[in-house]
Amino acid sequence: MFGSDWLLDAAIMMIERTHRVENLGTDELAAMLAGSEPPLLFDIRTAEEYEKSRIATSVRLDPDTGSDAFTARCESLVAGRDLVFYCSVGQRSSELLERVKSACGKARAKSCRNLRGGIFRWYNEGKPVVDASGLTDDIHGYDPIWGMMVERRR
- Give tens-digit pLDDT for 1-50: 456 788 899 999 999 999 999 999 999 999 999 999 999 999 999 999 99
* 80-130 confidence digits (pLDDT tens): 999 999 999 999 999 999 999 999 999 999 999 999 999 999 999 999 999
152 within a domain of the structure (yes/no)? no
pTM: 0.94
- Let me know if residue 64 belongs to a domain: yes
Query: Does residue 10 lie in a domain region?
Result: yes
In the chain, DSSP assigns E strands to 23-24, 40-43, 59-60, 82-86, 111-115, 129-131, 134-136
**Domains: count for the chain:** 1
